[in-house]
């Protein structure tokens, strides 16, 4: 499965729909000897992970503006490294880690809360 994740990381460079389609075709060719169910499973897993990683790539910009430590400790009651692993899709104990759906909801609400705090602070500036 690690080969699949390497392919997945390569897919992050795909910026256009055409590039993504070409990447998908190359995956199909690479895994063509797998049984049909195996190919479907690999493509489904890779497609899901691609979407997740592309969402998380956008978070990298946020971490330049907002303290990742603050978000981790305040909203998740976890360490900075725990949050960084999930944002970066790191491999922990041999498996790539990601946010659960409830953790994604917490992150979404955290960013909304922070944006509201910034909006309120900026409104106070005369």
Return the higher-pLDDT residue of 86 and 46.
86
Cβ atoms 49, 9 nearer than 8 A: no
Rounded Cα distance between 37 and 16, Å, is 28
pLDDT classification of 112: cutoffs 50, 70, 90? very high
Cα distances (Å, whole numbers) of residue 98 to 50, 69, 73: 12, 17, 18
Domain boundaries of the chain, sorted by first residue: 1-55, 66-126
CA atoms within 13 A on the CB side of 23: 20
Q: State the average pLDDT over residues 17-30.
A: 80
Q: State the average pLDDT over residues 51-72.
A: 80
Instruction: Tell me: pLDDT of 93 over 60.
Output: yes
Cβ atoms 63, 95 nearer than 8 A: no
pLDDT classification of 14: cutoffs 50, 70, 90? low
Task: Give the whole-number percent of the chain exceeding pLDDT 70.
Answer: 75
Instruction: Tell me: pLDDT of 7 over 80.
Output: no
Structure letter (DSSP) for residue 111: H
Least Cα distance to 6 among 29, 23, 25 occurs for 23
């Amino acid at each position: 499965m690690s080969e699949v994740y390497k392919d997945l990381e390569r897919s992050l460079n795909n910026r256009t729909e055409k590039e993504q389609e070409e990447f998908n075709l190359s995956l199909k060719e690479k895994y063509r000897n797998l049984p049909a169910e195996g190919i479907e499973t690999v493509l489904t897993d890779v497609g899901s992970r691609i979407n997740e990683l592309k969402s998380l790539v956008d978070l990298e910009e946020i971490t330049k503006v907002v303290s990742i430590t603050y978000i981790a400790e305040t909203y998740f009651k976890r360490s900075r490294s725990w949050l960084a692993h999930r944002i970066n899709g790191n491999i922990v104990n041999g498996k790539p880690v990601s946010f659960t759906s409830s953790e994604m909801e917490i992150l979404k609400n955290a960013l909304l809360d922070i944006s509201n705090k910034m909006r309120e602070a900026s409104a106070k500036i005369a």
